Amino acid sequence: MSEIRVGIAGAAGRMGRMLVQAVLDQPGLRLASAWERSDSLAIGKDVGELAGVPALGVVISDSPQKGFAAADVIIDFTTIPSTLDHLPLALEMNKPMIIGTTGFDAAARERIAAAASKTPIVLAPNFSVGINLMFQVAAQVAQVLGEAFDIEIIEAHHRHKVDAPSGTAVRLGETVAQALGRSLPEVAVYGRQGHTGARDRQTIGFATVRGGDVVGDHTLLFAGEGERLEITHRASSRLTFARGAARAAQWVVGRAPGLYDMRDILGFR
């Protein structure tokens, strides 16, 4: 295949416009379709003009069906209901999906995993290359420091983010917990208030900040007696995530059915 055709769901949103730019910047990809919810004011407009680039000849539609049919791979950074509604189309048309939507509960993740048994899906809480390297480093650091350090995860995002803690923060917690042989649901502490008593060293704490236009900050803190180690990643542009998603779109076409994440794209496993 000389050129991979990409369809973008939610193309008129903040992240959608960044995805358009990233697809245009990625060699070997071509933007083939774009769509929005039926009440969007962007319907009928050229997606390039909305993304701040010259007109591309791709008009934003209100039809996911047409968007899927015109593309070889779909990038979806929309909402939980929309993403789940797109899964049957991916199965019907045998199209791979790149899913950057976050906040799925266990039942929704099971639906995605079931779909991935029939068509390849890349699901990641964060498509930044730097963050995924942070996941890799976090596991190694946790194994070295072992039980002697308390672990806290601090994340900050813009005022519009609807889920907390972020999917990236949860993945950091899962990564560290697994490295230490712990179960995150059993040891996670999501915020503290009042008389909490002494800290249980087995716990992994989460602190969430929401405000302004913060794109995404994550800090993994290992606090020991007499020393602290902090691993921090700060994203200053959504284009970072969009470029990772475009890279994943190029990688996934032609793969066997399965549920993949950025560790697969980056060769970490």
Catalytic (active site) residue 218? no
What would the two tokens of residue 253 be?
């076409």
Catalytic (active site) residue 157? yes
In contact, 41 and 268? CB cutoff 8 Å: no
SS (H, E, C) 44-94: CCEHHHHCCCCCCCCECECCHHHHHHCCCEEEECCCHHHHHHHHHHHHHHC
Among residues 86, 95, 157, 233, the one annotated as catalytic is 157
Burial label for 221, CB within 10 Å (0-12, 13-18, 19+), is middle
Residue 187 φ then ψ, to 5°: -115, -10
75: CB partners within 8 A, 6+ apart = 6, 7, 8, 9, 19, 23, 97, 98, 100, 245, 246, 249
Catalytic center residues: 157, 161
